[in-house]
Amino acid sequence: METTGPLRVFLAVVFGVALIGFVSGTRGEDPDAATEAHRERTGAAAGAEGLAPARSYAELRAAPQGSGSGWVADLDALADLGPGVLDPVSLDGTSKAADLAARASRRAYDGAPPRIPHAVRQDAAPECLACHEDGLRLRGLLATPMSHTSYASCTQCHVVQEAPMPGGADLPPDPRVVGNTFVGVASPTAGPRAWSVAPPQIPHRTWMREQCDSCHGVNGRDALRSTHPSRASCEQCHAASAATDQRPGVAR
């Protein structure tokens, strides 16, 4: 029972040493001293260009993304590089036939979910949304916006163009794959007009294509873009077809 006092003193000393170590390890280091230590380890000259001082964890948390490497990591900044809804649109030099063919090349038939032309992680729907929620243009590549509201499992409908597993091309043929004569619906080229200057009718189904700007907005394919993307209510002028939409009660 007499050891209670010494035990308390011992525990107090241990706690004090631990606290001093914690504070010493987490406080910011002098940038100049860190830079000099880095030069000594690497042999860099005192006046070396582009040698950034070491930062504490607190400084790294407060620093903007990309400031250490020079890369812009903010997708919002990349999205600002594309055209805006108020920018003039010119269809000169574009080919609607070429864009429709490119669009159809990733679909089994018109209306089928397009295949994914790049590698993906099978459990990373947020990564798909990063580029395809609003669309993105970057260095000649185009990530079109989604034509429908977002779902949690993108790869439930959209499959990759090639097998994602290593050595997939060397696997034996799947016996379940058989030849067939199925021919899907061809992509429509243009909607009919009631008269020459009337807005064209929507030539395709609107189910799962509620977001018209997926194809016709500023981040759509060049020849399919609308010349007036600032008008957000497309169906105010462009009427859907009951027959194309396969609505109940329509004669077939």
Q: Tell me: the pLDDT tens digits for 97-151?
A: 999 999 998 998 888 999 998 888 777 777 888 888 888 887 778 888 999 988 8
Cross-strand partners of 136: 143
Burial 234-244 (b: 16+ CB within 10 A, else e): beeebebbeeb
Q: Is residue 121 part of a domain?
A: yes
**Band (2; pLDDT cuts 50, 70, 90):** low
Q: What's the distance, CA 91 to chain centroid?
A: 26
Q: What is the DSSP letter of 186?
A: P
Would 96 be classed as within a structural domain? Answer: yes
Domains of the chain: total: 1
Confirm whether 84 is domain-assigned. Answer: yes
Domain that holds residue 225: 72-163+200-252
- Report if residue 157 sits inside a domain: yes
* pLDDT band at residue 223 using 50, 70 and 90 as cut-offs: very high
